[in-house]
Amino acid sequence: MLHLTSRPRRLRSTDKMRHLVQEIRLDVRQLIYPLFVSEKVSGRAEIPSMPGMAQLSLSSLEEECQSLAQLGLSAVLLFGIPAQKNESASQAYAEDGIVQHAIRAIKLAVPDLIVITDVCLCEYTSHGHCGVVVQEGNRYDVLNDASVELLVKTAISQAAAGADIVAPSDMMDGRVGAIRTALDAQGYTNVALMSYASKFCSAFYGPFRDAAESAPRFGDRRTYQMDPANALEALREVALDVEEGADLLIVKPGLPYLDILWRVKERFELPTAVYNVSGEYAMIKAAAKLGWIEEKRAVMEMMTAFRRAGADMIITYWAKDLAVWLKS
Ligand code: PB1
């Protein structure tokens, strides 16, 4: 018989003992469910690279939000797919834009559901970049300040339609301060600003770009999204957004950036979300379909990791599944 000063396994002996000492618990009310609303579909159009996710019409969006509320979910994040795209992303900030219509429809159908809107141009530009592009021969540039002007218009149009939170995902310099100033100047002081403050130029966004039809037609996003190698730059970016007035922060992607999530939460202590992106979703879905991994166990472990690393909120395409799993 070993005479040990401590036997940690005592606290792992039964299910009830393990739950008694469990440090992290998942709560459905901390989940945010992304939704794709399209002007071009009737009903639902499944997204092959994101099994279980679909582009929704306005009418099917209302049904979806009612079922989300019944499941106990509190918040959705809206992405729009307009019928028309152009270089000025005019449908991003149109009063009768698809996202503006969607906000109003959700607020009518489920008034207390928190509606967060993605503020970006990539779903609305013909070239798929997150900003205004000028081209000269085979060179191009994404114009920062001109893009911010359109992002401000987009955020204002979403606030006017009833969004509770606007979430700029573009990574242009100064957009948080510009959007906050404009929201306050136009009386939207109660609309919160959730900044994608630490967003990397990632290989894990592919399925989303299928869903939102937003892949860049040329070039890439390396001149505005961050280099995955740069943690200190991420902290500088977050500090700027906090200074400019962000109420909430997003670290994105999730799994490959748990270190960033931890450092951001430790340093800034603002409510922080992690975005469990489309590539992370597709990976597990594909492996589960091939029988190589048990989806529910892997997802619960991933969500626990996000919370352990400091996430207060989790933006995830598994939110509906988790709402059911967490009840059982
Ligand atoms: O789930 C995902 O992959 C999210 C992708 C993300 C949405 N905010 C962006 C990725 C990208 O296309 O660069 C869209 C950028 N506005």
The tens digit of pLDDT for each residue in 238-287 reads 999 999 999 999 999 999 999 999 999 999 989 999 999 999 999 999 99
The answer, yes or no, to whether the previous bond of 253 is cis (omega within 30 of 0) is yes
How far does residue 227's CA lie from ligand 1's centre (Å)? 15
Q: What's residue 51's pLDDT?
A: 98
How far does residue 214's CA lie from ligand 1's centre (Å)? 9
The tens digit of pLDDT for each residue in 105-160 reads 999 999 999 999 999 999 999 999 999 999 999 899 999 999 999 999 999 999 99
Copy the structure tokens of residue 128.
Answer: 């798929």
Superfamily name with CATH number, domain 25-325:
Aldolase class I (3.20.20.70)
Torsion angles phi and psi, residue 213, rounded to 5: 50, 50
Share of the chain above pLDDT 90, in %: 98
Of the candidates 165, 156, 82, 95, the residue with the CA atom closest to the CA atom of residue 124:
82
Q: Binning pLDDT at 50, 70 and 90, where does residue 77 land?
A: very high
Exposed/middle/buried for residue 223 (C-beta within 10 Å: 0-12, 13-18, 19+) = middle
Amino acid sitting at position 211 = A
Contact 121, 154 (CB under 8 A): yes
Amino acid sitting at position 248 = L
Active site residue 285: no
Q: Taking residues 190-212, what's their average pLDDT?
A: 97
Q: What is the 3-state secondary structure (H, E, C) of 129-164?
A: CCCEEEEECCEEEEEHHHHHHHHHHHHHHHHHHCCC
DSSP annotation of 235 reads H
DSSP annotation of 92 reads G
Task: Report CA dihedral (249, 254, 260, 265) to the nearest 10 degrees.
Answer: 40
| Residue 316, ligand 1, Cβ within 6 A | no
SS3 state of residue 191: coil
Determine which one of 16, 40, 107, 199 is catalytic: 199
d(CA 313, CA 271): 8
How far does residue 209's CA lie from ligand 1's centre (Å)? 7
Q: Binning pLDDT at 50, 70 and 90, where does residue 221 land?
A: very high
Give the nearest ligand 1 atom to 201 CA.
13
Give the nearest ligand 1 atom to 214 CA.
12
Copy the structure tokens of residue 92.
Answer: 């991003």
Of the candidates 141, 93, 94, the residue with the CA atom closest to the CA atom of residue 119:
93
| Residue 328 pLDDT greater than 90, yes or no | no
Copy the structure tokens of residue 120.
Answer: 């970006």
Active site residue 199: yes
Show me where the domains of the chain are located.
Answer: 25-325
- The rounded mean pLDDT for the chain is 97
Give the nearest ligand 1 atom to 196 CA.
8
Determine which one of 252, 265, 285, 320 is catalytic: 252
